[in-house]
Amino acid sequence: MDKLPDKSPDRTIRSLHITAFAGSVFALILSVMLILNFLQMKRIDPLNSRTLILLNERLKTNPEDKTLREEIRSLDLLARKAFFTSQWQIRIGGYLLLISGLVVVISLKTTDFIVKISPDEPGRQKLDFWERQSASRKWIAGAGVVMICSALILAFMTDHELGRDLEHALGGAVAAKGEPANANVGSDKANRENRMVELPADVPGMVSDSVTQSADQPSGFAANPVGFPTQAEIRKNFPGFRGPGGIGIDHHKNIPVSWDGKSGKNIIWKTKIPLPGFNSPIVWDDRIFLSGANETRREIYGIDAGKGTILWTTVIDKVPGSPAKAPAVNKETGQAAPGMTTDGRRVYAIFANGDIAALNFEGKIVWVKNLGVPSNHYGHSSSLIMYKDRVIVQYDQRGSAAVMALAGPTGDVIWKTQRAVKVSWASPVLVHTGTRMELILAAEPFIAAYDPENGKELWRTDCINGEVGPSVAYADGRVFSVNEYSKLTAIQLGEQPRILWEDSEYLSDVPSPVATAQYLFLATSYGTVVCYNVLNGEKFWEHEFDQTIYSSPMMAEGRIYLLDKLGVMYIFNASDKFQLIGQPVLGEGTFCTPAFTDGRLYIRGNNNLYCIGK
Amino acid sequence: MFRKSREFWLLLLLMLLAGSSFAIQRFPRPEFETGYQQPETMLPGPRAEIMAVVDLAVLILALSAVSWMVLKKRSRKGVFWVSMFSLVYFGFYREGCICAVGSVQNVTLALFDPTYPIPLTVLAFFIIPLIFTLFFGRTFCAGVCPFGAMQDLVAFRPKTINSKVDAALGMMPYLYLGLAVLFAATGTDFIICRYDPFVGIFRINAGFSMLLFAAILLLTGIFIARPYCRYLCPYGVLLNWISRFSYRHMTITPAECINCRLCENSCPYGAIKIPNSVKYAETRRQRVRKLMFITLLFPFLMVGGGWAGSRLQETFAGVNRTVKLAKELLVSDQNGQDVESFEIKAFRSSGKPLTEVYQEARIILHRFLIGGWILGAFLGLTTGLMVAGKLLENHQSDYVPDKGACLSCARCTDYCPVMGNTMPTELNHKA
Amino acid sequence: MPTRRVFLQNLIRGGILAGLGLLTGSLVFRSRKGGTCRLNISCNACSKNGSCTLVPAFETRQFVWQLDPSKCIQCGRCATECVHTPSAVKCVHVYAMCGYCDLCGGYFKPDTKTLNTGAENQLCPTSAIKRSFIEDPFFEYTIDENLCIGCGKCVKGCGAFGNGSLQLQIRHHICDNCNECAIARKCPAGAFSRVPATSPYLLKGFGKQPLSGDKTGGPESF
């Protein structure tokens, strides 16, 4: 500062320095105070004051103690006051600290602008350039060594048990599942395989939470073994009753909304089916499969989807163990009520007498067996459903109810789980709940889910009784069960499934409900359709069609298709407002649920199979 | 509306038996008789979306302004005032989020996690300063980065750092960048944000450790100019490398250097290259041999570093929440703890199968193994390259900025006595 | 050889530019899993209606942090982990879900005998909930957000014994929207996520409610 000839800048600088000094001292004091405040608050923690908790405990044992109560109240007030005062202090302190810092910075900066600080005098670095470079090289190498050493020390201090423990835990879990052969359960690929059959139910345009379920790219499916179809293939076709997974949700496009059976409008073809049957059509590629039976004869038909000609008819007879006389059944159930299923390699059908058969696509029998005549007073009607290359049979008969999985290629029983339930006429539903595949069955007295891999029961909820006809609906982690004279129950899945809501105003006898992530559509057999909020059971709307309905509603392209017993299809929007889109008439009575492919709709009437489209 | 009042009590009972669960209408909404108006739930919105575009515009304007100040006006004062504006806008007004430094992690995460949506503005905050650097040098550091501005403010008595110490400490940003990328790529953590020292000051609200870190950095910053930028900033690594190839970097002198030595120690960041008296200390052959030796060493450095990094697999993975949860679950399943942590409680109530967590943890652990190898190899290679770089250093006869380390703050220009207009680009290449 | 040097330098510059372009391009044009289609064209690329797997990785929208009340387990860390003190997470009362109970599980401690507003009965540590009589037997509960510290005690109580109308939410006029939310890092339930700034709340309700800007199409101001 001796360079400065003028006195006044000198004085300015001095005062600036004093300001800066004062500012920094102030900041220092503030910091110390703030730190003390912080430490004190941390120590006493007024909002979780121990004294208050103790006093409250005392008050609990002695609820009439007025002085104690007063003491708590005043102490509580004090604690809260302390908390908020301290907060205020910290906030104000922060601002003051910032301001004082600013004062210091401004005064010092101004000094620097007045007196240019002379940098270190030149040539302070004594070493020659090349020597410095060489020294730097050594120091960099040294830094590298330090890094490696600290990495190794750190690594030495961490234990390396985790990888092995995880392996162990996973290995144990796999072994516990009883499938040591399938050791790659944990791998990505296996995960993808498991997810393959996931069936999220989304309405178009809806922002869904379940989008993660669709996270697998289509390319992942291509890697699957050839023994069973990929998810994409399943969705392209219509492999069983109520579509993929049996939840009544179809994924095809351009589904017709108008036709007329009388004038033949939009009816592509119509084929007479020789034997009666209430099983709904299933479709794979260019084939439609149906079964039909009477007391003496059981047949399976393979039909050309293009022209409607019956390509082959296979008679199922002389099955070992099959009874000589078909069991007595109700007229409205018949001998061929259960829906068929297919895995794209074989088709499977079961009849009221317990005969189950697997046919190839040319109609040749691959295997056939009798599961024992079901003791069922109306007649067996649970549809088959496929999982991977297995066919799953819900065999809830009187006395020895069970669910089993038969190997598709051989018919061998892969697993069989006994069920403590009464007779059921509902069909199994197979869904991916986001974490695993679950096979969900309905029968008095409970809704239960099984692992389709091994038949282990995953959960059960006692919420249904009576002679259960409707299958469950599933969407977005929620299961909906319903039965006449029982109740409608929404179950939220999770570690421990719980009942979300119940209702008993409208109940279904035969038609199964269908659900989306937002709405539940329930059709009763007496013709009322109700749309519920899946979250709370609030009804968005209800509509009376006043017709008997045995067919189950199907959702396709954001619309609900619902057939009544006379063959009138009610098409309405799957939304929170009732909006009828069309009411085309088939001209023939129907019991069955329609099947869908792109641009086409297949309806089995009481005598004929119709193909509807343009 | 509520016809089900009879069933309600039964339902309530059921619900209570089912245990605590979320959003169950146990009590119907009352029907008020006194005309009570139910208040509306207030939902204050976040900052308007359009403001992100404003941020972007301010970023580009500030970058242009600094570049202009540095290259055309050669004005330290101009740079200073732009940096003050940036400090107020990006620092105190925008509270330090989103910043270009942190955006490294968002970009990494977006590259590795296909489900992460990266907002375009964040991507722009990452890319635009890099492009400006490619053209004009690290003008972002000079006057746009609020962290830099903050530290620049307190650099009152900068001391020259010994070049070898400077070189060794210069490894730290690479380490920091490597770790930040590793943790971001595995979706574990954003460590740059977590250990960001200055946001606490910008918000006047922070945790104790964050403020302590800020105080240490700022106090150090009085004597060591911009310690964060030089020895920590991970984004600075990228800027450093791109700046080496910048099209028009700032120069100390507007015309010909007269070797007056006035600027020699003017740079608080030690980013001025000093002319060397002897052309080369060693013969060409000696240098080539050394260089070849170092280059041959690269694979070993990479493998060695990679191996050391891979040893840290579980140390790193321990930070990941899934791995942490899996660890806790393993312990609790073995020992059956009495008091379970919130993590385990939350997991148990989520209904996720145990194996899934273990599988996830295993996958993450594996990623950290690969990540550890890559990180170690990267650091090994960096060390080798840095050493080689010190060998490759060219002879020069003028005072020129070290284009990588120079922060384009334009301090040195104030010391240059040479008058003249901005220099032609050709001279730039003399460096 | 200055020209060769210049050429080489330009080559590297071009390389850097191309690299940056490639990086940007790969982020802008690459598909992202699990997104929702915003193009609203039926490109048939998606297997499901409306939910598309081919969504660009970038977003022109802004994102903010929010916590999902259905995942929240009310651990109390929202009160302590936020960079703000008091926390930007507050208890929000969804009046439309409230049962207006006299015995409010969110207001009173579980074993409260006499239902009065005495400090010994209140669950809230800062007494941020105001209880006011409406008509027999209904009481209204309002939250003073200036006092609320986001500890979630009332949320737990209301969820366990009531309708769950008290829910924790990040209040966006307080939240700084850190690049990585400090609470998200510590949330044991993983309830925090980035949500589009146009629908910044994740409140759960029973029926249709005028929430999340349903009415105005944008967030309402406080």
Contact (CB<8Å) A208/C127: no
Asked if residue C185 and residue C76 are part of one domain, the reply reads yes
**Predicted local confidence at residue B25, as pLDDT:** 61
**Predicted local confidence at residue B296, as pLDDT:** 93
Report angle CA B115, B118, B122 to the nearest 5 degrees.
165
Which residues in chain B have Cβ-Cβ distances shorter than 8 Å to A495? 348-352
Across chain A, mean pLDDT equals: 83
Q: Which two tokens stand for residue B378?
A: 């990267």
A393 pLDDT higher than 80:
yes
Residue A213 lies in a domain: no
Contact A335, A277 (CB under 8 A): yes
**Predicted local confidence at residue A493, as pLDDT:** 87
User: SS3 of A394, please?
Assistant: strand
Contact C170, B31 (CB under 8 A): no
Contact A346, A340 (CB under 8 A): no
C117 close contact with A: CB closer than 8 A: no
Asked if residue A343 and residue A484 are part of one domain, the reply reads yes
Interface probe, candidates A130, A193, A436, A533, chain B, greatest B C-beta count within 10 A: A130
Output the CA–CA distances (angstroms, integers) from residue A374 to A401, A423, A427, A464, B114, in the order listed: 9, 10, 15, 22, 51
DSSP assignment, residue A245?
G
Contact B83, B143 (CB under 8 A): yes
Residue with tokens 């599988």: B359
Q: Which two tokens stand for residue A552?
A: 């189950």
- Cα separation, C84 vs C98, whole angstroms: 29
Distance from CA of C125 to the nearest CA of A (A): 6
Domain boundary among A99, A114, A129: A114
Asked if residue C128 and residue C48 are part of one domain, the reply reads no
B114 close contact with C: CB closer than 8 A: yes
Asked if residue A278 and residue A314 are part of one domain, the reply reads yes
Distance from CA of B353 to the nearest CA of C (A): 15
Which residues in chain C have Cβ-Cβ distances shorter than 8 Å to A206? 50
Residue C202 lies in a domain: no
Number of domains in chain A: 3
Asked if residue C93 and residue C30 are part of one domain, the reply reads no
The residue in chain B having the minimum alpha-carbon distance to the alpha carbon of residue C184 is: B189
- Cα separation, A252 vs B320, whole angstroms: 42
A602 pLDDT higher than 90:
yes
Asked if residue A254 and residue A160 are part of one domain, the reply reads no
Q: What is the mean pLDDT of each run of 10 residues along chain B (431 residues)?
A: 37 37 64 85 86 93 95 91 94 89 93 83 94 94 94 88 90 95 94 90 83 91 93 95 92 87 85 77 81 91 93 90 89 69 82 82 92 95 91 80 92 83 45 37
A606 pLDDT higher than 50:
yes
**Residue B69, strand partner residues:** none
Give residue-wise pLDDT tens across range A459-510. 988 888 888 999 999 988 899 999 888 889 999 888 788 888 988 888 888 8
Distance from CA of A15 to the nearest CA of B (A): 17
Contact (CB<8Å) B119/C142: no
ipTM here: 0.84
**Predicted local confidence at residue C60, as pLDDT:** 75
The residue in chain A having the minimum alpha-carbon distance to the alpha carbon of residue B172 is: A143
- Cα separation, B241 vs A32, whole angstroms: 42
Give residue-wise pLDDT tens across range C138-168. 999 999 999 999 999 999 999 888 888 999 9
Asked if residue A109 and residue A157 are part of one domain, the reply reads no
Which among C85, C109, C119 has CB closest to A87? Answer: C85
Contact B372, B312 (CB under 8 A): yes
Asked if residue C101 and residue C163 are part of one domain, the reply reads yes
pTM (2 d.p.):
0.65
Which residues in chain C have Cβ-Cβ distances shorter than 8 Å to B340? none
Asked if residue A159 and residue A31 are part of one domain, the reply reads no
Give residue-wise pLDDT tens across range A88-127. 998 899 999 999 999 999 998 888 777 765 555 555 555 5
Q: Indicate the helix (H) or strand (E) that contains B154.
A: helix B146-154
Asked if residue C163 and residue C96 are part of one domain, the reply reads yes
Q: What is the domain range of residue C28?
A: 15-56
Distance from CA of C120 to the nearest CA of B (A): 24
Asked if residue A606 and residue A498 are part of one domain, the reply reads yes
**Residue C131, strand partner residues:** C141
**Confidence category of residue A220, pLDDT binned at 50, 70, 90:** very low
Contact (CB<8Å) B167/A140: yes
Per cent of chain A over pLDDT 90 is 38
**How large is the C-alpha radius of gyration of chain A?**
37
Contact A520, A490 (CB under 8 A): yes
- Cα separation, C39 vs C31, whole angstroms: 13
Which among C50, C111, C119 has CB closest to A206? Answer: C50
**Where do the domains of chain B lie?**
53-255+400-428, 284-392
Interface probe, candidates C3, C129, C180, chain B, greatest B C-beta count within 10 A: C180
- Cα separation, B260 vs B396, whole angstroms: 15
- The dihedral built from the CA positions of residue B251, B253, B255 and B260, taken in this order, carries a sign that is negative
CA-closest candidate to residue B194, choices B179, B215, B175: B179
Under 8 Å CB-to-CB from B379, ≥6 apart: which residues? A144, A147, B171, B174, B175, B178, B305, B309
Residue A410 lies in a domain: yes
Which among B49, B114, B120 has CB closest to C33? Answer: B114
- Strand order across the beta sheet in which A437-443 lies: A429-432, A437-443, A446-450, A457-462
| Displacement of CA B279 from its chain's centroid (Å) | 39
Number of domains in chain C: 2
Which among A124, A152, A436 has CB closest to B265? Answer: A124
Least confident of A52-56, A441-445, B124-128, C36-40: C36-40
User: SS3 of B397, please?
Assistant: coil
Contact (CB<8Å) C172/B110: no
Contact (CB<8Å) B386/A133: no
DSSP assignment, residue A555?
E
Give residue-wise pLDDT tens across range C88-131. 999 999 888 888 988 899 999 888 878 888 888 899 999 999 99
DSSP assignment, residue A422?
-
**Predicted local confidence at residue B338, as pLDDT:** 59
Which subunits sit against A, judged by 3+ Cβ pairs under 8 A?
B, C
Contact A502, B11 (CB under 8 A): yes
Which residues in chain B have Cβ-Cβ distances shorter than 8 Å to A105? 153-154
Residue C205 lies in a domain: no
Complete DSSP assignment for A337-370 = -SPPEE-SSEEEEE-TTSEEEEEETTS-EEEEEE
The total number of residues written for chain C in this structure: 222
Asked if residue C47 and residue C80 are part of one domain, the reply reads no
Per-residue H/E/C for A366-392? EEEEECCCCCCCCCCCCCCEEECCEEE
Residue C116 lies in a domain: yes
Residue C203 lies in a domain: no
Contact (CB<8Å) A60/C35: no
Residue with tokens 């205020």: A88
Contact C199, C216 (CB under 8 A): no
Residue A471 lies in a domain: yes
- Cα separation, A383 vs C201, whole angstroms: 44
CA-closest candidate to residue B180, choices B92, B105, B261, B85: B105
C132 close contact with B: CB closer than 8 A: no
Residue C218 lies in a domain: no
Which subunits sit against C, judged by 3+ Cβ pairs under 8 A?
A, B
Asked if residue C129 and residue C41 are part of one domain, the reply reads no
- Cα separation, A282 vs A549, whole angstroms: 20
Report which listed range, A176-180, A251-255, B57-61, C201-205, is most confident: B57-61
Asked if residue C152 and residue C184 are part of one domain, the reply reads yes
> Region A217-231: what's the mean pLDDT?
51
Complete DSSP assignment for B89-149 = IIIIITTT-S-HHHHHHHHHHHHH-TTPPEEHHHHHHHHHHHHHHHHHSSHHHHHT-HHHH
Return residues 124-163 of B near C (CB < 8 Å): 127, 130-131, 134
> Region A551-576: what's the mean pLDDT?
91
> Residue A431 sits in a domain of what CATH number?
2.130.10.10
- Cα separation, A568 vs A599, whole angstroms: 19
The residue in chain A having the minimum alpha-carbon distance to the alpha carbon of residue B347 is: A495
Q: What is the domain range of residue A441?
A: 231-613
Asked if residue C49 and residue C128 are part of one domain, the reply reads no
- Cα separation, A544 vs A505, whole angstroms: 14
Q: Indicate the helix (H) or strand (E) that contains C63.
A: strand C63-67
Under 8 Å CB-to-CB from A535, ≥6 apart: which residues? A500, B23, C206
Burial A27-58 (b: 16+ CB within 10 A, else e): beebeeebeebbeebeebebbebeebeebbee
Residue A210 lies in a domain: no
Asked if residue C31 and residue C70 are part of one domain, the reply reads no
Contact C188, B348 (CB under 8 A): no
Distance from CA of A515 to the nearest CA of B (A): 20
Contact (CB<8Å) A232/C119: no
A398 pLDDT higher than 50:
yes
Return residues 4-33 of C near B (CB < 8 Å): 5-6, 9, 12-13, 16-17, 20, 23-24, 26-28, 30-33
Measured between alpha carbons, how far apart are the two ends of chain B, in Å? 83
